[in-house]
Amino acid sequence: MVANGMTTETSKQLRGVLKEHEVLSRHTSWRVGGAVKRFYQPADIEDLSLFLSTIPANEKLYWLGLGSNLLVRDAGFDGTVICTSGVLNSVEVLDEQRLYVEAGVACPKAAKVSARNALTGAEFLCGIPGTMGGALAMNAGAFGGETWDIVESVQTINRQGELTTRSPNEYEVGYRHVSGTFEEGEKGEEWFVSCVLKLAPGDADESQSKIKALLNKRGASQPTQQPNAGSVFRNPENDYAARLIESCGLKGTCLGGACVSDKHANFIVNTGTASAADIEDLITKVQQTVKEQMGVELQREVKIVGEQ
């Protein structure tokens, strides 16, 4: 398929899958979201580089992994979405301490490959319901571990398709926050396409048992059987968003098909009929109620994109 802004010659060279007007509810963990103008799944990093070099400079661009931690509005997204999940999917053991992981690899897969190869330190990744690209972008965490605690280096790509290798000291990393300290200049924003994780030699059986225990803990405390996007709000300093929400009596509160989970108050679930508007309205209701009753302004962890 030839997309707007591409020449026929260039598009013939692309090896990925290009779709127009793809409905994003098929690609988000909340199972909601309207259509996107263009949707591209690159064949590999080289193909991604070529694709980026072809898109217009003023085209809106969004990167999508497993679609967790994301709410796409019902009117969709008037731009291009690049989906890395399942395509930038290489995991490679480099030596007894390092693991190479591409951005489209699901975090639980990275944890399991690490454990099978007797590398320890990445077990917590099994609790992150997204890809490594998303985990790098927001310093995702679970079970007391955070992504950038184990990053040795990252590979980034810019809008021109140029690749750069960077070290952690080139970023400001905080709780659910990452920003570059380098000058982006005229080249614009960079996105993560792979990383090298610095781990430690361990015992494969021990690491695999730890992952199994962590997954059981997650299943017991989170609504993993219903469509959700993970934790909706960041934990305030020295407190927990779930505690605040539950203290306000909001567990089980519904708007349309969207409900605050009875299992974990910092999760909003789609009971089967929710629209993106239902979810966004419920997020706002929770924020307003917690502010009024507890005096705390909850900050969203989930990203909201698309047209109102």
Residues 26 and 79 occupy one common structural domain: yes
Tokens standing for residue 146? 């955070």
- Do the domain assignments include residue 230? no
Residue 73's domain comprises: 8-83
Residues 276 and 297 occupy one common structural domain: yes
- In the predicted model, what is the mean pLDDT of the chain? 93
How many whole angstroms separate alpha carbon 69 and alpha carbon 233? Answer: 10
Residue pLDDT, tens place only, 220-255: 999 999 999 999 999 999 999 999 999 999 999 999
Burial profile 266-294: b = 16 or more Cβ within 10 angstroms, e = fewer? bbbbbeeebbbbbbbebbeebbebbeeeb
Catalytic positions: 176, 231, 301
Residues 173 and 76 occupy one common structural domain: no
- Do the domain assignments include residue 162? yes
Residues 127 and 204 occupy one common structural domain: yes
Residue 10 pLDDT greater than 70, yes or no: no
Q: How far is CA 211 from CA 68, 102, 133, 142, in A?
A: 20, 21, 21, 12
Q: Which pLDDT belongs to residue 255?
A: 98
124, amino acid identity: F
Confidence at 79, pLDDT banded by 50, 70, 90: very high
Among 83, 103, 134, identify where a domain stops. 83
| Contact yes or no for 82/40 (Cβ under 8 A) | yes
How many whole angstroms separate alpha carbon 275 and alpha carbon 30? Answer: 9
The 10 Å Cβ neighbour count of residue 58 is: 7
What's the CATH number where 268 sits? 3.90.78.10
- Do the domain assignments include residue 234? no
| Structure-model confidence comparison of residues 301 and 186, the more confident one | 301
Residue pLDDT, tens place only, 134-178: 999 999 999 999 999 999 999 999 999 999 999 999 999 999 999
Q: Which pLDDT belongs to residue 187?
A: 56
Give how many domains the chain has, as a whole number. 3
Average of per-residue pLDDT across 175-204: 86
Give the helix/strand (H/E) hosting 227.
Answer: none
